[in-house]
Amino acid sequence: MLAYIVRRLLYAIPILLGVNLLTFALFFVVNTPDDMARMQLGIKRVTPEAIARWKSERGYDKPLFYNSQAEASAKFTDTIFYSKSIRMFAFDFGRSDDGRDIGYEIRNRMGPSLAIALPVFLLSLIVTIAFALLQVMFRATYLDYGGVALCIAMMSISSMFYIIGGQFVFSKVWNLVPISGYGEGVDRARFLLLPVLVGIVGSIGSGARMYRAFFLEEAFKDYVRTARAKGVPEMAVLFRHVLKNAMIPILTGAVVVIPSLFLGSLITESFFGIPGLGSYTIEAIQSQDFAVVRSMVFIGSVLYIVGLILTDISYTLVDPRIRLQ
């Protein structure tokens, strides 16, 4: 087990290197720092001096890979590739293009992101499983087909409409919660209520449909038929056999997103004005702050890879048939 985890962690290194090279190529080779500077300073009326200053302030004036003017090992370290890309492996993200410490911002904004993403994740898992199980309980009846139709209809609505609709009904018409914003203490709950609710409702459609398929696949297996033949009550069959076994694909599918919860949700945070990592990313994209986008890409991939490893481990924990080697 431990050997397996170590091997998986080692395997993560080339992948992270690949991610790093890819983003580096995207940000520095496809476009030169000159292009970025011109973009930031405005296309028109830009002097070469202004570009040079912009670049040197942000450390983009070094050579890409190899600095022939530097001493010894600084030949490789005093380059854009080292200072902007390799340093990320030490979680040193440097400063954003408007001069703020990215690492500090990320640590500060994780909390609010998690405050929404975690409740949404847990509650929507519960609600979706309950809904899917209800459909399976009444399988092949109009209730079931109605549920499937409802799921497909809910899947067909853009997540933005859930947010806009929720804000409109709960905040504008009924005046129950503030439209957007974020606060401290007890106040926070009032601000978080609507985003969490919208997040849950928005994820029911696709989730319940998938889980229903998992449950149905389990519900027609031989051991379930045996249980029924023995006279096990339907409720016990569903909860003790079907639910328990279908939890394997459900849980392992859910584990992979757990680390990524830190990143928060782009759309939700931006609509509700929550100062999390999602809105940070959106602001960076909209103000074309490449340093922040690059850091978020790196963190996102690290968290995803952690998620993959956790998935493998969770397989062995919930399904004794699988052994890691």
Partner 1 sequence: MAFQPVFLWSDILLFLLIAVVVAGVFYVRSQPHMLEPWRRVGSSGSAMASLTLLLLFVLIGVLDSLHYRPRLESVSAGTNDVRHSVEVHSAFDVLAQVLRRGTEKTYSAPFAAYLYDKENIDRPDGTQFRDYPRLKHAAVHLQDPPSQLAPDVAFGLARALPVAAAVWLALALGVARRVARQSACSVASAWRAIWRRETPIAWNGALTALGATLALVVPLCLLSADYHVFGTDKVGQDVFYLTLKSIRTALVIGTLTTLVMMPFAIALGVVAGYFGGWIDDVVQYIYTTLNSIPGVLLIAASVLMMQVVIDSHPDWFATSAERADARLLALCGILGVTSWTGLCRLLRGETLKLRELDYVQAARAFGVTQVRIMIRHILPNLMHLVLISVVMDFSGLVLAEAVLSYVGIGVDPNTVSFGTMINQARMELSRDPMVWWSLLAAFVFMFVLVLSANLFADVVREALDPRLQVLSRNRLIRKAAHA
- Binding residues (CB under 8 A) for partner 1: these are 14-15, 18-19, 22-23, 26-27, 30-31, 35-36, 38-39, 43, 139-140, 145, 152-153, 155-161, 164, 167-168, 172, 179, 213, 216-217, 220, 228, 260, 263, 266-267, 270, 281-282, 285-286, 288, 290, 293-294, 296-297, 300-301, 304-305, 308
Q: How far apart are CB 68 and partner 1 at their closest, in Å?
A: 27
Q: How far apart are CB 55 and partner 1 at their closest, in Å?
A: 15
Q: How far apart are CB 292 and partner 1 at their closest, in Å?
A: 11
Nearer to partner 1, 153 or 176 (CB): 153
- Tally of CA atoms within 13 A in the half-sphere of 200 that contains its CB: 19
Q: How far apart are CB 74 and partner 1 at their closest, in Å?
A: 29
- Position 34: which residue type? D
Burial of 83 per CB tally in 10 Å (0-12, 13-18, 19+): middle
Q: How far apart are CB 69 and partner 1 at their closest, in Å?
A: 28
305 Cβ contact list (under 8 Å, min separation 6):
12, 15, 16
Nearer to partner 1, 16 or 127 (CB): 16
Q: How far apart are CB 314 and partner 1 at their closest, in Å?
A: 18
Nearer to partner 1, 9 or 160 (CB): 160
Residue whose structure tokens are 């999390």: 276
Nearer to partner 1, 46 or 123 (CB): 46
Nearer to partner 1, 67 or 154 (CB): 154
Residue 65 is encoded by which pair of tokens? 């890979």
Q: What are phi and psi of 95, to 5 degrees?
A: -110, 150
Nearer to partner 1, 124 or 281 (CB): 281
Q: What are phi and psi of 167, to 5 degrees?
A: -60, -40
Q: How far apart are CB 183 and partner 1 at their closest, in Å?
A: 20
Nearer to partner 1, 112 or 259 (CB): 259
Nearest to 177 by CA among 159, 154, 196: 196
Residue 234 is encoded by which pair of tokens? 């339907």
Note every long-range contact of 144-152, with CB atoms under 8 Å and residues 24 or more positions apart, other chains counting: 147/208, 147/212, 148/209, 148/212, 150/205, 151/204, 151/205, 151/206, 151/208, 151/209, 151/212, 152/205, 152/209
Instruction: Quote the distance between the C-alpha of residue 109 and its chain's center.
Output: 14
Nearer to partner 1, 67 or 191 (CB): 191
Helix, strand, coil percentages in the chain from 3-state DSSP, rounded to 5: 75, 0, 25
Q: How far apart are CB 262 and partner 1 at their closest, in Å?
A: 11
Give helix 290-318 / helix 2-24 axis angle, nearest 10°. 160
- If one counts every other C-beta atom within 10 angstroms of the C-beta of residue 295, the result is 26
Q: How far apart are CB 242 and partner 1 at their closest, in Å?
A: 13
Nearer to partner 1, 83 or 171 (CB): 171
